[in-house]
Amino acid sequence: MIERYTLPVMGRIWEDQFKYNTWLQIEIFACEARARMGEIPKEDVKLIKQNAKFDMKRISELEETIKHDVIAFLTNIAENLGPESRYIHYGMTSSDIVDTALSVQMKTAGELLLNRLNDLLSELKIRAIEHKHTICVGRSHGMHAEPTTMGLKFTLWYEEIKRDITRLQSAIHSISVGQISGAVGTFEHLSPKVEEYVCNKLGLSPAPISTQVIQRDRHAEFITSLAIVGATLEKIALEIRHLQRTEVQEAEEYFSKGQKGSSAMPHKRNPIISERIAGLARLLRGNSIAAIENIALWHERDISHSSVERVIIPDSCIVLDYMLDLMTKLIKNLIIYPDNMIKNLNLTRGLIFSQTALLRLVDKGVIREDAYRIIQDMSEDIGRDINKSLKDELINSKEVRNYLTEEEINNIFTNEHLLNNVDFIYSRTIDETKETN
């Protein structure tokens, strides 16, 4: 991933230094396991631990000739050892260290992403509680529907992030497996106890069965889980982009002092963070398709997945880390305009209360189809004439006044009843009694 979108902690997980360190750990742990079983002199393991080193420049030089990164790594390690080098990589295949190390990287990256998600969850909770009773219009199909609250928007996003956390936890569990099972996964030259020891040291579980490679449905689950998180972030970003439109102006990304929005138009304050998040979410979705394509391998053990994963796994982790950092700051600093929300609520001159009016007529005994016709005809007239409102049309309608008094009509156009069940919704989602971390 380009440096622009790479944050330092996540970036280091995918650097060669981290990878080679993990490869070396795996080789040393395998030697330790065999020493415990009496297959290697403990003195030789001590020498391996003291002297086994690698040099990334030297590995690159060797790979130019060898054309195999694992063999280049092992050759470089052997250059720093004596006869004890014969115990390195004994009975193992390349994927034993590559796949096991990749699991360590994905687990480490996944746990970092979980921390990011929990940070975002905390900010969403704060904003949900803050705007629990901030009334705004609810939209469906892009059109004004009925009133809702800004807090409920934050609560909706909060609940989805909770599901994303659950999905990612499951995906991390699925990928937290290793293998030290040999060329075709049959443990022909190594005891399964070696695999068990190595995996335990690395915080992994042994894959119940491997075939030379860990099966790629696990990796696909991980990458698609990241893509779903990205889609959630895009969903939030898309709504913020809409709310920031000049014609709406109900919310706005924080615009820092000295920031500029356009090279041509000094007045512009564009939702660039939300747009960036929306764009990067597409990258995650594309990578998820590639991860699914990697599941099918010739005889369950070719390496056609390898070249793809060198790109999509680091990039997906790095990009989502960056996106979560952006979104957490965006939510924390998001500017809300309650006065504009009230102004927008009144744009349709009471039409957002059309269902309430319909139901009050039904409550009085009017057939639903007739009540619907009455309100719909009025709504069409109001939409064409800016001097008309639904309240006035109801009050002036002889047909309506046969059923509703003026006081009953006035009661239709109040916001109090909108909030009757907000506490109930919050009770199912956000626990307001607990402090936010």
How many domains does the chain fold into? 3
What CATH number is associated with residue 12? 1.10.275.10
- Written as one letter, the residue type at 385 is D
Please report whether residue 108 resides in a domain.
yes
Same domain, 322 and 282: yes
- The yes-or-no answer on residue 210 being catalytic is no
Q: What is the pLDDT of residues 246-299, one digit of tens each?
A: 999 999 998 877 787 777 787 778 889 999 999 999 999 999 999 999 999 999
H or E, element range at 147: strand 143-149
Task: Specify the pLDDT at position 38.
Answer: 96
Note the pLDDT tens digit of each residue in 208-249.
Answer: 999 999 999 999 999 999 999 999 999 999 999 999 999 999
Matching residue, tokens 């609940």: 159
- Whether 239 and 195 share a structural domain: yes
| Catalytic residue list contains 262 | yes
CA dihedral over 258, 259, 265, 269, signed as positive or negative: negative
Name the active-site residue from 141, 267, 299, 307: 141
CATH assignment of the domain containing 373 = 1.10.40.30
Residues of the chain with pLDDT under 50: none
Kindly state whether residues 308 and 284 are assigned to the same domain: yes
Q: Could you tell me if 103 and 49 lie in one domain?
A: no
Tell me the three state secondary structure of residue 312.
Answer: helix
Q: Identify the pLDDT of residue 264.
A: 76
322 and 203 together in one domain = yes
Residue 21 domain flag = yes
Cα–Cα distance measured from residue 36 to residue 38, given in angstroms and rounded to the nearest whole number: 5
Residue 55 included in any domain: yes
- Given 87, 117, 146, the domain boundary residue is 87
Task: Give the active site residue among 262, 304, 417, 427.
Answer: 262
What range does the domain containing 23 cover?
6-87
pLDDT at 426: 93
Q: What pLDDT was estimated at residue 437? A: 54
The CATH number that applies at residue 120 is: 1.20.200.10
Q: Are residues 254 and 155 in the same domain?
A: yes
Residues 50, 175, single domain; the answer is: no
Are 296 and 407 found together in one domain? no
Domain identity same for 108 and 179: yes
In this predicted structure, what is the pLDDT of residue 383? 81
Judgement on whether residues 172 and 261 belong to the same structural domain of the protein: yes
